[in-house]
Amino acid sequence: MNQNVGSMDKRARTALGAVLGLASLATLAGAVSLPMVTAPVLGVASLIMLVTATVGTCPIYSLLGVDTCPVSPEASR
């Protein structure tokens, strides 16, 4: 798969993934008064954000034809 996540998008995904992960852990620890069912949902969302930021490819972006990466795949060859 071609990279379709730009550097600013990667930073935003990393920050959002970290916040969601912390919220998930805080919910599990009882520090945040959210229903317990939200902890795994937040955890999975966190992992998705962190993985797509690390890999640089977002499957949803691919389906929608979105590309925030400034370098085209043809130019990098």
Per-residue pLDDT, 7: 92
Structure tokens at 29: 């620890």
Q: What is the DSSP secondary-structure string of 8-23? A: HHHHHHHHHHHHHHHH
Domain interval for residue 51: 7-64
Q: Is residue 18 part of a domain?
A: yes
pLDDT by 10s per residue, the chain, length 77: 788 999 999 999 999 999 999 999 999 999 999 999 999 999 999 999 999 999 999 999 999 999 998 866 565 54
Exposure on the CB side of residue 16, measured as CA atoms within 13 A? 13
Q: Is residue 29 part of a domain?
A: yes
Q: Is residue 45 part of a domain?
A: yes
> Minimal CA–CA distance to 56: which of 44, 43, 42, 70?
70
Per-residue pLDDT, 56: 92
Q: Is residue 54 part of a domain?
A: yes
Q: Is residue 1 part of a domain?
A: no
Per-residue pLDDT, 77: 43
As for how many domains the chain has, the answer is: 1
Per-residue pLDDT, 72: 60
Structure tokens at 43: 């955890």
